[in-house]
Homo-oligomer: A and B are copies of this chain.
Amino acid sequence: MGKGFDLILIFVILLSVVLVMLESVTEFDQKYHDTLFTMEWIVTIFFTIEYIARIICIRKPTSYIFSFYGIIDFLSTIPLYLSYLVAGSQVLLAVRAFRLLRIFRILKLVQYIGEASQLGTALKASRTKIAVFIYVVLILSVIMGTLMYLIESPEAGFTSIPRSIYWTIVTLTTVGYGDIAPQTTMGQFIATVIMILGYGIIAVPTGIVTVEFAKHGSKGKNAEDKNLVHVNTHSCSSCGVEGHRDDATHCFKCGELL
């Protein structure tokens, strides 16, 4: 029965995200406004019941309420109620997308969570190196952006230093919108230098991450067992902890019967 509830939950989460998207498409919203509105209410009521049920089932509700998923669940439920009180509270609808992270857990995608945590470990290990890298990129952007502001005219779109820095990052990351583009020969020359820099610099994070992956990948086989995270949406009714083994009968933290 718990499995059936999980599947319905996934469906409602996906539905709620799709609803938010469809409401933003003007033509679609005008045609089917009432249907969308009704479905939005159904989703919200479902979320409300789920949220209250979770609180009731747990002896120490605060541990759930202030957990990461607890806050996201609350924020995904509240917007429709708030829209009657506060204008512009639609902003919170975006929070629902975070709920998609639950799908991993619900689907009991053990293997995927293992891989994800392995990726996470590698990224964590290269944290300081990447921070240094981003800091250098930002300083480079500030210097190059200021330089371009001084060289290029406002007609080409370089109206202020922040805008010039925005253009520099657009160029350095090889995105290249083209809404702002250098017109003078000097500006184009410096743009060329920035591009080749960006082209070369992209090698640095790749190199860092690859080396970390290689390190953690070799440990992979031994670590495989550790990665076997037991996914389970049922939280302990006593202390609210999640992540119990599927065959657990007692909470691994407080020993209470599940």
Contact = CB atoms under 8 A, between A and B. Distances in A.
Interface of A: 17, 20-21, 24-26, 90-91, 93-94, 97-98, 100-101, 104, 111-112, 115-116, 118-119, 122-123, 128-137, 139, 142-143, 146-147, 149-150, 159-166, 169-179, 181, 185, 188-189, 191-192, 195-196, 198-200, 202-215, 217
Contacts of A134: 196, 200
A61 to B, nearest CB: 27
A30 B227 CA distance: 59
A23 to B, nearest CB: 8
A196 B141 CA distance: 11
A116 B136 CA distance: 10
Contact of A97 (B104, B130, B142): B142
A91 B163 contact: no
Given A161-B24, A175-B174, A207 B196 contact: no
Contacts of A98: 139, 143
Number of copies: 4
A206 B209 CA distance: 9
A94 B176 contact: no
A93 B211 contact: no
**4 cross-chain pairs, A with B, having the tightest CB-CB distances, nearest first:** A175-B176, A177-B178, A94-B146, A24-B161
Contacts of A149: 24
